[in-house]
Amino acid sequence: MKKRLLLTSAVLGAAVLSGIFLATGASASTGGLKSRLAEKLGIEESRVKGVMDEIKSENQDKMQAKQEENLQEAVDDGVITSKQKDALIAKQKEHREKMEQLRDEMDGWYEEQGIDKDALREYRVGKGMGKGSGGGMHGMME
């Protein structure tokens, strides 16, 4: 139990640090970050990935709950109907599923071509569709 708490704390701290790196425009791929964390902590990368995936899932659940709360407020204020709220939630879910399918398809294509996507991230390639640190102004400020 103590080891799990220590691991979770270390990964959470590293996740915060990675957010700082990304916010300042530093180049760090998620895959590379996981590898570096595992190496620094002396644990298997799969354990780091598991904890990071768990944190990501928890954050997504919180964001979804907040989104639904905000939409309910819009219903209560008469901006949209309950039926429209449900339709919007369903459409957003459909959109997320399509995006995940496209990410998986692209990942498969990279693999088929023998391209190391993580290695390309240093060159700001392959970060689209919800992965990586995003582009935006970061690439322009380096």
95 pLDDT more than 50: yes
pLDDT of residue 122: 82
- When divided into structural domains, the chain yields a total of 1
Task: Please compute the mean of the pLDDT values over residues 109-135 and round it to a whole number.
Answer: 74
Does residue 141 lie in a domain region? no
Does residue 72 lie in a domain region? yes
pLDDT of residue 34: 85
Closest by CA to 37, choosing from 28, 74, 105, is 28
Residue 43 DSSP code:
S
Residues 18-27 as b/e (b if ≥16 CB within 10 A, e otherwise) read beeebeeeeb
Does residue 104 lie in a domain region? yes
Domain ranges, residue 33: 2-121
CA dist., res. 106 & res. 111, Å (int): 9
Does residue 134 lie in a domain region? no
Does residue 36 lie in a domain region? yes
Task: Please compute the mean of the pLDDT values over residues 66-94 and round it to a whole number.
Answer: 96
Average pLDDT of the chain is 78
Q: Which of 6-10, 17-21, 40-44, 91-95 has the highest mean pLDDT?
A: 91-95
The helix (run of H) or strand (run of E) holding residue 138 is: none
Task: Please compute the mean of the pLDDT values over residues 55-64 and round it to a whole number.
Answer: 93
Helices (H) then strands (E): counts for the chain: 5, 0
